């Protein structure tokens, strides 16, 4: 494709709703919970998918989607392979950001903080709750490592399927992002979007409106 592909005309208006300071909870986790309820109602299959942005020790960023598996005042949890690229980056540099884009609601939420591994018990409990196929997939895949062909992965899955059961590997488990900052974004007409940022302070959450 030689010619530059012009996509500059692709645009839409955002007019689903407004966001007012008075309607916001003083607790960002409660606010997130309200928005998650609405996102689940609007799009149950994809509401929990979130972009996880990490950076290595040199500062080079990487982003990918993972699935949120739980959240509370302690933080936001997902599960993965600790030896994956994201796992290695989080070991080098625990600072990360989560990003939710809820298209139907014209909303975006950013959550920044530090990431810690969840307890082994929590990881094993979640692992054992997954369908057997997903458990086998997690054991068979050396996530983020190159592989010569798909058939090698399929052979390993077949071998493990014959064994009949697998255990949660030590290198597989959960991470929890402990939030330090949230931003709630609601799209508005003519790009005059509503944005509110919550920052953690010694006395609680400080909320301010940001320009769009």
Ligand X SMILES: Cc1cc2nc3c(=O)[nH]c(=O)nc-3n(C[C@H](O)[C@H](O)[C@H](O)COP(=O)(O)O)c2cc1C
Active site residues: 191
Which listed residue (31, 77, 84, 135) binds ligand X by CB under 6 A? 84
Q: Tokens representing 154?
A: 């399929």
Q: Using the rule CB under 6 A, which residue among 64, 103, 159, 191 binds ligand X?
A: 64
Is residue 77 involved in binding ligand X (CB under 6 A)?
Answer: no
Nearer Cβ to ligand X (31/84)? 84
CA atoms within 13 A on the CB side of 76: 30
Residue nearer to ligand X on the CB measure, 9 or 59: 59
Nearest-angstrom CA–CA distance, 49 and 80: 14
Stretch that binds ligand X, among 7-15, 82-90, 115-123, 181-189 (CB under 6 A): 82-90
67 binds ligand X per the rule CB under 6 A: yes
**In whole angstroms, how close is the CB of 98 to ligand X at the nearest point?**
12
Alpha-carbon distance 186 to 109, whole Å? 9
The binder of ligand X chosen from 77, 80, 123, 135 (CB under 6 A) = 80
Distance CA 141, CA 174 (A): 16
Q: In terms of CB distance, is 66 or 207 closer to ligand X?
A: 66
CB neighbour class for 86 (10 Å; exposed up to 12, middle 13-18, buried from 19): buried
Shortest Å, Cβ 67 to ligand X: 4
Structure tokens at 30: 């409660």
51 forms part of the interface with ligand X (CB under 6 A): no
56 in contact with ligand X (CB under 6 A) = no
Q: Determine the angle formed by the axes of helices 150-163 and 132-140, rounding to 10 degrees.
A: 130
**CA–CA gap between residue 196 and residue 106 (Å, rounded):** 15
Asked if 143 touches ligand X (CB under 6 A), the answer is yes
The region of 14-22, 74-82, 166-174, 203-211 touching ligand X under the rule CB under 6 A is 74-82
Give backbone dihedrals phi and psi of 40, rounded to 5 degrees, phi first: -65, -40
* Region of 32-40, 58-66, 118-126, 158-166 interacting with ligand X (CB under 6 A): 58-66
Options 93, 141, 144, 161; binder of ligand X; rule CB under 6 A:
144
DSSP state of 93: -
In 24-94, where do the E strands start and end? 49-55, 61-67, 70-72, 75-81
Residues in contact with ligand X by the rule CB under 6 A: 49, 62, 64-67, 78-80, 84-86, 143-144
């Amino acid at each position: 494709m030689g010619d530059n592909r012009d996509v500059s005309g692709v645009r839409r208006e955002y007019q689903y709703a407004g966001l007012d300071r008075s309607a916001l909870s003083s607790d960002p986790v409660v606010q997130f919970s309200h928005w998650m309820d609405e996102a689940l109602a609007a799009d149950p299959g994809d509401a929990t998918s979130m972009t996880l942005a990490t950076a290595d020790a040199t500062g080079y960023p990487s982003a990918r989607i993972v699935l949120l598996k739980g959240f509370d005042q302690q933080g936001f949890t997902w599960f993965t392979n600790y030896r994956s690229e994201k796992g290695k980056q989080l070991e080098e540099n625990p600072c990360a950001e989560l990003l939710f884009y809820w298209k139907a609601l014209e909303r975006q939420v950013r959550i920044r903080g530090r990431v810690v591994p969840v307890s082994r018990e929590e990881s094993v409990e979640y692992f054992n709750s997954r369908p057997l196929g997903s458990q086998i997939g997690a054991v068979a895949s050396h996530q983020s490592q190159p592989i010569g062909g798909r058939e090698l992965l399929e052979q390993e899955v077949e071998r493990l399927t014959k064994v009949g059961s697998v255990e949660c590997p030590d290198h597989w488990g959960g991470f929890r992002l402990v939030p330090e900052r949230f931003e709630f974004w609601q799209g508005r007409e003519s790009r005059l979007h509503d944005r509110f940022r919550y920052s953690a302070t010694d006395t609680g959450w400080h909320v301010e409106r940001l320009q769009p």
